[in-house]
Amino acid sequence: MEYTYEPKGVCSYEMVINIDGDTIKKVTIKGGCAGNTVGVSRLVEGMQIDEAIKRLKGIPCGMRGTSCPDQLARALEEIKNKR
């Protein structure tokens, strides 16, 4: 199933997340620092949703209080809660 999330407080503006059961199949992050967002996307592919949340939640970017990885974790939490 494909989900779209609009991140808040970061440079990226859209995250498209493909989930199969509890496994992350593909993540596309639009905007933000390309090297970082592509890297994070590839690292979580094949990972269980709960493991990705555990690893990414709470990572800050400067003084923002959030980051693209943190926003991805929040998106995954939202997906879990909607199920």
Domains and CATH numbers, the chain: 2-82 (3.30.390)
The one-letter amino acid at 62: G
Q: What percent of the chain has pLDDT over 70?
A: 100
Secondary structure class of 25 (helix, strand, coil): strand
Comparing C-alpha atoms, which of 15, 28, 23 is closest to residue 66?
A: 15
DSSP label at 10?
S
Model pLDDT, residue 25:
98
Q: How sure is the predictor about 83, in pLDDT bands with cuts at 50, 70 and 90?
A: confident
Under 8 Å between Cβ of 66 and 9: yes
The one-letter amino acid at 66: T
What are 38-73's pLDDT values in tens digits?
999 999 999 999 999 999 999 999 999 999 999 999
| Cβ partners under 8 Å of residue 40, min gap 6 | 27, 29, 56, 68, 69, 72
